[in-house]
Amino acid sequence: MSLDPLAAVHQRIAQAAQQARRDPRSICLLAVSKTFPASEVARVAALGQTAFGENYVQEAVDKITALRPDWPGLQWHFIGPLQSNKTREVAVHFDWMHSIDRLKIAQRLSAQRPAELPPLQVCIEVNVDGEASKSGVPPEQAGAMAAAVAALPGLRLRGLMGIPAPRQGLAAQRQPFAQLRALRDTIAAEHGLELDTLSMGMSADLEAAILEGATMVRVGSAIFGPRAKPQA
Ligand SMILES: *Cc1c(COP(=O)(O)O)cnc(C)c1O
């Protein structure tokens, strides 16, 4: 009997955690369901997966709305680039937002978060490799951004998120994740913030991320299979 892809990912997480001498329960698996239909989310939810990540606002809101009656316990994470005219949908429908890269986006999310919901949990996205094509704040600006975001009442700042450029081999993959962890530690100390989250690691490099302290890995294709259209 072949292992379900979700179970195989759990096994990869457990092995990396063991290698890092970490409790595997300290690593949250985020199933990235972008481009896949609500029926696929329901199939994976039925296997026990509760946290799902989405990149496109309208696609996500359609899925969340369709699934909420049968699956009220699912946790939804927005992980893609966000335009300021779409912040309200994220503030209303999501539990987490990982890709804060401008203060204006954070301010809008805070103001638009419905009062009856708990604060939106957020991470600041750091452009750890300084790639022109990638979003995220430059590492040297992340501290000031963190302090400003932490002061917003509708948000709860949890930590940093990063998407390093692809690298071959475990040692090379670990480098940018180690930088992100060090940056998190520095910002937490300098600004007196409790930052318990490092959202880093995807299908191709989750082991390296876990070895460097990831608390949340965002895994799409290893769970759902290849996506039809290439994603930016
Ligand atoms: C698509 C995406 C992922 C998942 O990527 P896979 O390589 O399919 O695991 C993780 N994080 C972000 C921000 C993404 O856009």
In this prediction, residues 75-85 reach a mean pLDDT of: 97
Q: Domain extents for the chain?
A: 5-223
**Residue 140 DSSP code:** G
Ligand 1 centroid – CA 21 distance (Å): 25
Kindly state if the Cβ of 79 falls inside 6 Å of ligand 1: yes
Tens of pLDDT, residues 2-24 = 679 999 999 999 999 999 999 99
Q: Nearest residue CA, atom 13 of ligand 1?
A: 79
In this prediction, residues 199-209 reach a mean pLDDT of: 98
Ligand 1 centroid – CA 24 distance (Å): 21
Q: How confident is the model at residue 171 (pLDDT cuts 50, 70, 90)?
A: very high
Hey, what CATH topology would domain 5-223 get?
TIM Barrel (3.20.20)
pLDDT the model gives residue 230: 56
pLDDT the model gives residue 3: 78
Q: What angle do CA 142, 173, 35 make, to 5 degrees?
A: 80
In this prediction, residues 84-97 reach a mean pLDDT of: 98
In this prediction, residues 194-223 reach a mean pLDDT of: 98
In this prediction, residues 225-230 reach a mean pLDDT of: 82
pLDDT the model gives residue 134: 85
C-alpha to C-alpha distance for 44 and 39, rounded to whole angstroms: 9
Kindly state if the Cβ of 202 falls inside 6 Å of ligand 1: yes
In this prediction, residues 179-198 reach a mean pLDDT of: 98
Say what percent of the chain tops pLDDT 90: 94
C-alpha to C-alpha distance for 167 and 131, rounded to whole angstroms: 14
Torsion of the alpha carbons at 181, 187, 189 and 195, rounded to the nearest 10: -70
Kindly state if the Cβ of 223 falls inside 6 Å of ligand 1: no
In this prediction, residues 189-218 reach a mean pLDDT of: 98
**Residue 128 DSSP code:** T
Indicate which atom in ligand 1 lies nearest the CA of residue 218: 10
pLDDT the model gives residue 220: 98
In this prediction, residues 82-109 reach a mean pLDDT of: 98
